[in-house]
């Protein structure tokens, strides 16, 4: 019997900036239009869920958020519309967000699943 080889797939992770405009006030959960800025590989606007989260480690899964998620930290000072937020994109099945991300980008972060 011949053994089948497993094909390894590399997961691409990209970082950048995005213009984010909530469909409600910044203090409420809901949805937001998120448009990555060039040179991010996908610059189409998506309407993503927007959730407030406490600082800490978060695993965002593609199965729960197929296109992505906008995270606004509970203590975020963001108030302008639109706001420029950091964006992290991946071709994988999940994206990790940590306390370091909270410190580096205090307004929030957009998580984007690439096709």
Share of the chain above pLDDT 90, in %: 88
pLDDT score of 4 more than 90: no
Torsion of Cα atoms, 82 then 88 then 93 then 97, to 10°: -100
Q: How far apart are CA 48 and CA 65, in angstroms?
A: 8
Q: How far apart are CA 18 and CA 108, in angstroms?
A: 11
pLDDT of residue 6: 43
- Each residue's pLDDT tens digit, 84-101: 999 999 999 999 999 999
Count of CA atoms in the C-beta half-sphere (13 A) of 32: 31
pLDDT band at 5 (very low <50, low <70, confident <90, very high): very low
pLDDT band at 9 (very low <50, low <70, confident <90, very high): low
The closest of 64, 72, 14 to 43, measured between CA atoms, is 14
Q: Average per-residue pLDDT in the chain?
A: 92
Total-model pTM = 0.89
């Amino acid at each position: 019997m011949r053994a089948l080889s497993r094909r390894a797939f590399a997961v691409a992770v990209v970082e950048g900036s995005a213009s984010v405009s909530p469909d409600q006030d910044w203090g409420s959960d809901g949805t937001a239009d998120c448009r990555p800025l060039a040179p991010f590989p996908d610059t189409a606007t998506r309407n993503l869920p927007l959730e407030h989260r406490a600082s800490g480690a978060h695993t965002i899964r593609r199965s729960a958020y197929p296109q992505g998620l906008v995270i606004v930290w509970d203590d975020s000072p963001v108030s302008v519309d639109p706001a420029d937020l950091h964006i992290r994109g991946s071709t994988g099945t999940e994206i990790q967000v940590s306390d370091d991300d909270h410190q580096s980008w205090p307004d929030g972060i957009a998580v984007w699943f690439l096709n």
